[in-house]
Amino acid sequence: MTRKTLTQYLVEQQRSSQALSAEVRLLIEIVSRACKTISHAVSKGALGGVLGSLESENVQGEVQKKLDVMSNEVLLEANEWGGHLAAMASEEMETIHLIPNRYPKGEFLLLFDPLDGSSNIDVNVSIGTIFSVLRAPASASGRDVTEQDFLQPGSTQVVAGYAVYGPQTMLVLTIGQGVVGFTLDREMGSWIMTSENMRIPEDTKEFSINMSNMRHWAAPVRKYIDELLAGKSGTRDKDFNMRWIASMVADVHRLLTRGGIFMYPWDSREPNKPGKLRLMYEANPMSMLVEQAGGAATNGEQRILDIQPTALHQRVSVVLGSKNEVERVTRYHHEAKA
């Protein structure tokens, strides 16, 4: 059987649905090529001198790993020259990065978490890259885009995707026409389609949350997890299993593959922060993928994709995955408020 490459898929989409412009096709090709470069560096590990930390911290006050910074540079460099972008934003950069004047500018905005799961780099556990594409507002034409132009709800995303660097390197993508998955053929250097329609079952027996934060959670989250832990002997009348990789990419990849619910809720360690994960380049792209695969994504109160961002690096509480479970958690939050 001959399988489809990423390029074939994109050309087909461009021809059939008009859902994809030549610019967006180029954008996806370039981002996916950058992910190949990152995948190659990740796979070298200590042999490539890519492990360990730097002296620096990012804007969120997190120590930067060598691979965080390297991956950020790979993505910036790859995406500067193509003429498809107006600007980029990243977890690792305080402000937006405008396309330099020596290159033509396009109408799209690219946001990324260059390396997700930093705590797993040095222990050889799956990590990834997350990306989101927005269209610059029409009002920005003829001038440089600003940070304000990025602050659009996730429902306006044109493309969302991630690469996961695990036992296999995979690229998972949505252009708003379902979710497709590609596996990197390392010998050929090409992305080959291996999942043509990823779907999340509505029910699940698997949950994913950092249980060490239990004592800090809000009441609705505790109630929900307590019920799961009670298993067959409790009100849910079934046993649940737990998986926590601590790379959002890898945890979400698992639930896109076989269902599940993933949560990173608000907790009282830092009560003024709405959550740990970042809205614009973690929660939004993952929420679009999950919804496109038939799942749901909320912050406990409302649909994540409806949130109007107020800052580039803003954080958000995240509940996503199998629809019936996400709806239950959201209901518990609403009931607690009533």
Q: Which of 72, 91, 171, 322 binds Mn ion (CB under 5 A)?
A: 91
247 contact, one of ligand AHG, Mn ion, none, CB 5-8 Å limit per kind: ligand AHG
- Whole-number Cα distances in Å, 193 to 10, 11, 114, 198, 267: 11, 13, 23, 11, 39
Q: Which of 84, 96, 116, 228 binds Mn ion (CB under 5 A)?
A: 116
Contact window for Mn ion (CB under 5 A) among 1-9, 112-120, 140-148, 177-185:
112-120
Q: Which of 107, 113, 149, 206 binds Mn ion (CB under 5 A)?
A: 113
SS3 content of the chain, % helix, strand, coil (to 5): 40, 25, 35
In the complex with Mn ion, the residue whose CB is nearer, 20 or 252, is: 252
Q: How far apart are CA 199 and CA 179, in angstroms?
A: 8
Helix 219-230 to helix 323-337 angle (10° resolution) is: 130
Q: How far apart are CA 257 and CA 334, in angstroms?
A: 29
CB of 238 to ligand AHG, least distance (A): 25
For Mn ion, the binding residues in 132-191 under the rule CB under 5 A are none
In the complex with Mn ion, the residue whose CB is nearer, 51 or 229, is: 51
Q: How far apart are CA 75 and CA 14, in angstroms?
A: 24
DSSP β-bridge partners for residue 164: 128, 170
In the complex, the residues that contact ligand AHG under the rule CB under 6 A are 62, 91, 113, 116-118, 210, 246-248, 264, 276
Least Cα distance to 210 among 255, 246, 240 occurs for 246
DSSP β-bridge partners for residue 316: 277
CB of 224 to Mn ion, least distance (A): 24
In the complex with Mn ion, the residue whose CB is nearer, 115 or 170, is: 115
256 contact, one of ligand AHG, Mn ion, none, CB 5-8 Å limit per kind: none
CB of 252 to ligand AHG, least distance (A): 9
DSSP β-bridge partners for residue 264: 318
Residue 251, interface with Mn ion (CB under 5 A)? no
